[in-house]
Structure 1
Amino acid sequence: MIRSADAVWQGQLQDGKGQMKAQSGAFDVPFSFGTRFGDVPGTNPEELIGAAHAGCFSMQFSALAGRAGFTPERVATTAKVHVERVGEGFGITRIELHLQAHIPGIDQATFEKLAQEAKVSCPVSKALAAVPEIRLEAKLV
């Protein structure tokens, strides 16, 4: 299985513009210096990394809960990707995963154990191992 996306950038860093597109056609979006490092509305690579991480984590958590005998009714994850100046450039310095799940019959200790296991075992978490810190806040609702 191979998944791909394309990006094209035109111009200089601060006044140029780019376009990112998924192989599947699920998105074809513009991006710019302002959408990435400023407050200009629009997307950026880090936002897409956050969406990928939240989606992967949610699916992994659901799979682990199912293997443990539970049926999740709802698993919602927000990933906050922190981009900060690092040396002469920028880097992703932290990702915060915020999980809220409704799973009938699960106890708090099992819920937290499964959430921690999902954090380290989802493929996107593994791919992001170079990020200095990935935090998890899990709330059973």
Structure 2
Amino acid sequence: MIRKAQAVWRGTGRDGSGQLSSESGVLAETPYSFKTRFENEKGTNPEELIAAVHAGCFTMALAFGLQLAGFKPTELSTEAAVTLEPEGKGFKISKSALTLHGKVPNLDEAGFARIAGDAEKSCPVSKVLNATITLDSKLV
């Protein structure tokens, strides 16, 4: 399976701007720029997108892990907070912190944490990130 996306950039790094599009059309010429990345201008940025895909991938992996263990979650909600920090003359993504809240009938906190930890390790996005990944899980 191969998934594709495209970035088009016009201008310099600080003053230019770009658009992101995905094969599925979910992103269609979505604007991004220095200001959407390092300030708070409306638009997206690579770190926000990485956070979304990490949260989505992990949560789906957890749903499969719970199913394999014989549990049916009512709801799983994950926030991923991606940290971008200076490194030399550039930047690096140093961390993705996952915060998970789950409603899973008939499962205790220890079992939930174990299955969630396994899901974090098996998530393809976790595997591709060269960053520290933390997980804070809670049954609610």
Offset of residue 27 of structure 1: 1.4
1:87-131 Cα distance to aligned partner (Å, 9 max, x none): 111110111001111000001111000111111111111111x11
- Would you identify which runs of 4 or more consecutive aligned residues in structure 1 move more than 6 Å? none
CA displacement 1:33-82 (0-9 Å, x = unmatched) = 00011121221011111100000000000100000000011011110000
Could you tell me the TM-score, scaled by structure 1's length? 0.96
RMSD (CA atoms)? 0.7
Instruction: Provide the residue aligned with 1:9 in structure 2.
Output: 9
Q: TM-score, with normalisation over the residues of structure 2?
A: 0.97
Q: Which runs of 5+ in 1 are unaligned?
A: none
5+ residue gaps, structure 2, are: none
**Residue correspondence of structure 1 range 1-141 to structure 2 within 5 A:** 1-28=1-28, 29-128=30-129, 130-131=130-131, 133-141=132-140
How far, CA to CA, are the matches of 1:94 and 1:53 in structure 2?
A: 11
* Aligned mates of 1:27, 1:102 — CA distance in 2: 31
Aligned letter for 2:4? S
SS at structure 2 position matched to 1:36 = helix
Structure 2 Cα separation of the partners of residues 93 and 122 of structure 1: 18
Secondary structure of the equivalent of 1:25? coil
Tell me the matched-pair count: 139
CA-CA distance at 1:86 after TM superposition: 1.0
